[in-house]
Structures are given as C-alpha cells and as structure tokens.
Structure 1
Amino acid sequence: MKLTSAALEMDFSEVKTRIVRFIKEYVDNAGAKGIVLGLSGGVDSATTAALCSQAIGGQNVLALLLPEKETFKQQDIDDANTIAEQFQLQTQLCDMTQALDGIYKGIPTFNPADRLCKGNIKARTRMIFLYYYANQQTRIVCGTSDKSETMMGYFTKWGDAAADIAPIIDLYKTQVRKLALHLGIPKELALKPSTPALWPNQLAESELEIKYETLDLILFGLERFMTPQEIAEQLAIDQAIVERVKTRWLANEHKRRLPLPPKLGFRTVGNDFRLPKHTY
C-alpha cells in the first residue's frame, strides 16, 4: 500500500448519497421532527449541516450558533450564516456568556487560569444547549466530529462528542474538506483553519503539532495495521512523529467508548447487549 494523497481519494458523490441516506433513515426510525446541530462556521459543522439539509430538508434542521464573549469572532457568525442561507437552515443564536459565567461562579474551586478545564466546560455547555433544543422540539442531535480528531482524542468527552448520530466521523479531515467542496460549500470555508474555539486564537494544527495532510496519512496507515516504521519510511518523516500519533490515538480510546462495565450478567449493555437497527 502506498501512502499518498491518492490513498484518501473517494467517490464523494457516493459518499454523499450514503450519508444522506443514513441521516434520513435514522431520523425516520427515531420518529423525530428534525435535527439540531451546532454551526460554528468551520468545515466540519458546515459539511454536516449541508448533508442534513439534503437528507431531510433545511426547514427541518435547526442550527445553533453558540458564541461566547471570550472567543467571539464576527467572521465565524458570518460564515455560519452563509451556510445557513445556502442550505436553507433554521437558525437560533444562543449567546452562552451568561450561562458560562453562572457555571464558573458556581464551582467552588474554579480556576480561570486553567484553560483546559475552562475550555471543556464550554464544550459541555454547548452540548447542554443542543440537547435542550432536541428535547424541547423532538429533534435528534447531530454530531460534527471527523475521523482525524476522533482518533486523536482531540475533543471533549461528553462535550462536542456527545450526539445521537455522527455522519462524518468515518471521514478524515482532508476527506471532509473535499466533500465540502463537492457539496458546493465556498472554498474559503472548506479550507478554513480548524479550531475548537475553546480559548482565543486556538488552532487545531498548532495543538496537534502536525498538518492534517500528514496526520491523515499516518492514521490511514495505522488503521490498516501498518507499522510506524513502514509509515515513516513511506512518508519520509521521523518515526518518532508516527509513534507520537499512535501513542495519542491509543491513549484516548476511553474517550471513544461508553463507560466500561464489569461483565456480570448474561448480556451486558454496551458490550454484547445491542439491539438491531430497526429498533432505534
């Protein structure tokens, strides 16, 4: 197997068809009245929103814009509104500032200098807003996580990863960008630098310390049981880089699973007690 950009090529027309069918089937089986998702103006949420619109109609998709004062950027709001208009989504602007301030004040040991813990509160507060609207309006929550960041554990547990479905979670970031272009999302949004927006000036590639073009090929190789040495040789990079990616991928497995139960009964929830698809 050759690790080149060609290895990540897909028939994006077929990809779109399969994801759209998946979304529609899930909503129908759930008996939901629609979908709610967070729309940040980034490529992952824009692509997911576009797919949801094509699956059930934009009028049935509620996009929440969830700014807060510390990371507010008008350009992100404008980008989100561009996607909402293009794909005829319903939108609701929810300023999280007051809710966040209340949470900060309510935690006796809250430390504003601990930006990771503070940032995770923001991600989990977004989840609260999404599920409130889902409960209130009989919608399902659609996640916007991609495969690159999910494998790297680059998300908040029970925060941005909390959702009922995750339509693009089996696509690497570079594949999501190509799908976005295929869907007609403006190039400047499809190629916009990714950020979780948990603190000012946060950029995903800076924190991951690697470009997605390289990261995706490393992950692609690991997914196919290639050794770090084989991957490093093919990509002409230091093996230590591959080892670092592999270590982070494995160390974050707990973030990708339901809480681990001990095996006590005949069938165990989340382990070997799974219901068939038609009983969603």
Structure 2
Amino acid sequence: MRPLQSQIIADLHVQPIIDPALEIRRSVDFLKQYLKHNPQYKSYVIAISGGQDSTLAGKLAKIAIDELNEKTDKTNYQLIAVRQPYGIQLDASDALSALDFIQPDQTLTTNIKTATDAMTDALRQGGLIVDDMSRGSIKPKMRMIAQYAVARENQGVVVGTDHAAEAFAGFFTKYGDGGTDINPLWRLNKRQGRQMLQSLSAPTALYEKIPTADLEDDRPQLPDEIALGVTYDHIDDYLEGRPVPVTAAVKIESLYLASAHKRHAPLTLYDTWFYHS
C-alpha cells in the first residue's frame, strides 16, 4: 500500500468489504437517532437528481422516517424530496424513477434557472466575467438556498449525498451540495453504494447510469470520471486498499491534498492541519 493511501482510507473510514444489509441498517439507525436526539426537527429534506447517490440517501432517509413513525404509531415525521432542475432536466425520467422508488412523503420542485441567471447577471453587471465553471458553482449554491428554505418551514434537516469516492477529491461545491446537516453515505465508495441499492431492490438503471454532476452549460451531462480525471473503479480500488496504476494513484493523491480545505470547517487561529513546514 502506498504511504498516503492508508491515511486517506483512515480519514474517510472506508472499509475494504461491506455487508450491504449491515451498512443499510447502520445508516438508517444513524438517521433515526439524529431525529430522536433533536426533537426540534420533524423532517428530512433531500434533493433528488435521479443519480445513484441521492437515490440511496433518499431511500435510507425514507426507511428511517417510516420506522420512526411506526414506532410512535403516528405520522410525526416526513421525508421531503426536492427536485431542482436548471430549466429542463435532460434526465428527468431518472429523477421521477428515483422518486417512485423512494416514495417520499412530500415532493417539491424548485427550478433554479431564474435565480441562477439573475445572480449571473448581477455579477456581470458588477464587472465579473462569470464563465461556465463559475456558473457551475452558482447552481448548487442556489439549490442549497432552496433546500434550507424548505427545511426551515418544515422543521427539517438537510440530508447530504457526499461519500468517500467524491469526498477524497472535494468533488462537491463548498456551501452548495457540500453544505448539508447530515451525511449518511460518508464512509462508502461508489461500488459499495451500488451494492446497497442492489440490496434495496432499486431500479438497475439508477445505479448503472454514468454519474454526472451536470453543472456546466457548455458540457451538459459531463461524466464525473472525465471531470475527475480518474475512473471510479480505480478510486474504489484505491480506497479499499487495493493496488491501482501509478498514474491513477498519483491523480487520486493530488486531488486529495489539493482539496483538504473542503473537508474541514472554516479555519481559526487554533487550526494547524494546513501547515507543512
């Protein structure tokens, strides 16, 4: 194992092999305990895109909600799913399929196109260029504004979809999709998430589709693996402690080191992890 590999694995708590049923139970119990110990909250709020990660996190949250309601013999809790297209979503059928699988208690749609375009125009009037990459970082921030508005009005907690195969690279937008309250998938790689969805009898198309953040207007549906510059198979193997090609290992490690700030809270005078002297 490479010197940095064990550190990354330990940092992200990835196991080399999982029991999907056990990890489903661990995540569900984690979600249940959070609401039990924070009685001011009565709902989970999650954005459903139709991809593997939001499908899995949404289903786990729904199981947790149902078990809590069954225990209290009431309907005190609810799962609120939020669809958040930018204009017309090219893979909207996948989002609808995911919702059908998850069966949320309530579904809302907050189309972010008007807000994103307005912010882009305002920034450009202020003298900024706001290129396609910048717009791609504005979109998830607009989505998170809407999710927290929904959560605020429903005594809710925002569920994130971040997992080890993306967290290692900070492959999320800071204060966008990275700005959540609880992350039930943390510790899992992409392969393990698929195993859990298979165990949950999810539609095959939802976990076999090519992962994409779909944030860039100039490159719609850009596959994550192209954006990252490394395949999920190599990422998963690396995180499970297996050997991978040197080029893949170097890429993974460089992404990990460059994105350290995304995996930490804002710095104070008492934080020293970023010093390398």
Whole-Å separation in 1 of the counterparts to 2:120 and 2:266: 26
The aligned counterpart of 1:273 is: none
Q: Go from structure 1 to structure 2 and tell me whether the alpha carbon gap of 1:37 and 1:194 turns closer, same or farther (over 3 Å shift).
A: same
2:138 corresponds to 1:121 = yes
Q: Which amino acid aligns with 1:208?
A: L
Aligned with residue 79 of structure 1, among 85, 94, 119: 94
Q: How does 1:100-249 map to 2 (within 5 A)?
A: 100-107=116-123, 108-112=126-130, 114-199=131-216, 200-221=220-241, 234-235=243-244, 237=245, 239-249=246-256
The aligned counterpart of 2:269 is: 262
Cα drift, residue 84 of structure 1: 1.8
The aligned counterpart of 2:71 is: none
- CA offset digits 1:203-262 (Å, max 9, x no partner): 1011112221111112333xxxxxxxxx6xx43x2x233122111101111001101101
Aligned with residue 42 of structure 2, among 33, 48, 61: 33
Cα drift, residue 192 of structure 1: 1.1
Q: Which amino acid aligns with 1:109?
A: G
Q: Which amino acid aligns with 2:60?
A: L
Cα drift, residue 27 of structure 1: 1.6
- Contact kept, 8 Å, 2:31 with 2:64, in 1: the verdict is yes
Whole-Å separation in 2 of the counterparts to 1:72 and 1:52: 24
Q: Go from structure 1 to structure 2 and tell me whether the alpha carbon gap of 1:10 and 1:219 turns closer, same or farther (over 3 Å shift).
A: closer
The aligned counterpart of 1:224 is: none
Secondary structure, counterpart of 1:140 in structure 2: strand
Secondary structure, counterpart of 2:23 in structure 1: helix
Whole-Å separation in 2 of the counterparts to 1:119 and 1:36: 22
Whole-Å separation in 2 of the counterparts to 1:220 and 1:9: 7
Whole-Å separation in 2 of the counterparts to 1:77 and 1:65: 9
Whole-Å separation in 1 of the counterparts to 2:173 and 2:34: 24
The aligned counterpart of 1:276 is: none
Q: Which amino acid aligns with 1:10?
A: I
The aligned counterpart of 1:277 is: none
The aligned counterpart of 1:278 is: none
- Contact kept, 8 Å, 1:100 with 1:125, in 2: the verdict is yes
Gaps of 5+ in 1: 222-230, 269-280
- Contact kept, 8 Å, 2:163 with 2:186, in 1: the verdict is yes
- Contact kept, 8 Å, 1:65 with 1:77, in 2: the verdict is no
2:30 corresponds to 1:22 = yes
Aligned with residue 48 of structure 1, among 34, 48, 57: 57
Secondary structure, counterpart of 1:53 in structure 2: helix
Whole-Å separation in 2 of the counterparts to 1:79 and 1:243: 34
Secondary structure, counterpart of 2:268 in structure 1: coil
The aligned counterpart of 1:67 is: 85
- Contact kept, 8 Å, 2:213 with 2:221, in 1: the verdict is no
Q: How many residues align?
A: 243
- CA offset digits 1:56-108 (Å, max 9, x no partner): 12971111100012x721xx322222222223212111111111111112112
Whole-Å separation in 1 of the counterparts to 2:204 and 2:139: 28
Whole-Å separation in 1 of the counterparts to 2:251 and 2:44: 37
Whole-Å separation in 1 of the counterparts to 2:16 and 2:210: 20
Whole-Å separation in 2 of the counterparts to 1:78 and 1:27: 31
Secondary structure, counterpart of 1:247 in structure 2: helix
Secondary structure, counterpart of 1:189 in structure 2: helix
Greater RCO, 1 or 2 (C-alpha within 8 Å, sep 6+): 2
Cα drift, residue 170 of structure 1: 1.0
Whole-Å separation in 2 of the counterparts to 1:79 and 1:247: 33
Gaps of 5+ in 2: 6-14, 68-76, 272-277
The alignment's TM-score, normalised by the length of structure 2, stands at 0.82
- Contact kept, 8 Å, 2:48 with 2:83, in 1: the verdict is yes
